[in-house]
């Protein structure tokens, strides 16, 4: 995959922010309000026709989960991961004992791309917003969902099927890559891979022993 966008920490803008429920600190609330206003008013790319989707979850999270882009349900409700993929994600986190107070969820793209086709030019435009959100949230760990989220956080990462389930470091933080939950709807093989990597994620987060056999065969593109 060609990397057409990169998050560059050395060029990170000063944190400003958006209006997010649950923020009580005045300075942080102001920063979130400023960022959300800037995201809503963004005209840096062509994805500006629908509803902007910024964030959901804890504003003091241990874990920030980074997805790729909103879908139809997310655009309709204005919150990330509220559709079928979101229900899969929520159920998976509950299964490994990760409560909603421990994580926040956002996407690299803040607007839904046409036909749900990922837009690299939009990713370049949105990357600074993602960095500023991470600055404000100040998580201890990151989880990426899908190839585009992984490459945005770590351009040096290998292909998603090689990287998924293997902890690495991105932006100075521990990162656990996963395939996107939507992939599990397309193939039972991806559903099996998701389940395996979910067990590894639970172990990585301290939720119990990793019972996955180290001899699991690699999953290749169908």
Q: Which of the four pLDDT bands, split at 50, 70 and 90, describes residue 153?
A: very high
pLDDT at position 209, please? Answer: 44
**Packing angle between helix 120-137 and helix 26-40, nearest 10 degrees?**
170
pLDDT at position 51, please? Answer: 86
**What integer is the mean pLDDT of 182-198?**
96
Q: Which of the four pLDDT bands, split at 50, 70 and 90, describes residue 22?
A: low
Q: Which of the four pLDDT bands, split at 50, 70 and 90, describes residue 215?
A: very low
C-alpha 66/C-alpha 78 separation (Å) is: 16
C-alpha 96/C-alpha 141 separation (Å) is: 16
Asked whether the beta carbons of 79 and 11 are under 8 A apart, the reply is no
pLDDT at position 124, please? Answer: 94
pTM recorded for the entire structure: 0.84
Residue 111: half-sphere exposure toward Cβ, Cα within 13 Å: 24
Would you kindly state where each structural domain of the chain is located, as residue ranges? 15-204
CATH architecture of the domain covering 15-204: 3-Layer(aba) Sandwich (3.40)
pLDDT at position 25, please? Answer: 79
Average pLDDT, the chain: 86
């Amino acid at each position: 995959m060609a990397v057409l966008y990169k998050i560059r920490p050395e060029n990170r803008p000063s944190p400003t922010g958006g209006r997010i429920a649950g923020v009580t600190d005045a300075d942080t609330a102001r920063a979130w309000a400023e960022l959300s206003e800037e995201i809503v008013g963004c005209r840096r790319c062509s994805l500006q026709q629908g509803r902007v989707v910024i964030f959901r979850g804890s504003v003091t999270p241990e874990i920030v989960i980074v997805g790729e882009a909103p879908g139809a349900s997310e655009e309709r409700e204005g919150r990330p991961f509220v559709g079928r993929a979101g229900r899969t994600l929520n159920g998976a986190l509950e299964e490994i004992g990760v409560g909603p107070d421990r994580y926040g969820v956002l996407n690299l793209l803040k607007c839904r791309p046409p036909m749900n086709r990922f837009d690299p030019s939009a990713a370049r435009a949105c990357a600074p917003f993602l960095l500023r959100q991470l600055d404000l949230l100040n998580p201890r760990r990151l989880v990426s969902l899908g190839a585009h989220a992984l490459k945005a956080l770590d351009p040096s990462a290998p292909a998603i099927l090689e990287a998924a389930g293997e902890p690495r470091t991105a932006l100075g933080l521990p990162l656990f890559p996963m395939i996107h939950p939507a992939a599990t709807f397309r193939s039972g093989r991806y559903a099996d891979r998701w389940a395996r990597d979910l067990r590894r994620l639970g172990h990585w987060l301290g939720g119990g022993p990793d019972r996955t056999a180290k001899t699991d065969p690699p999953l290749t593109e169908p």
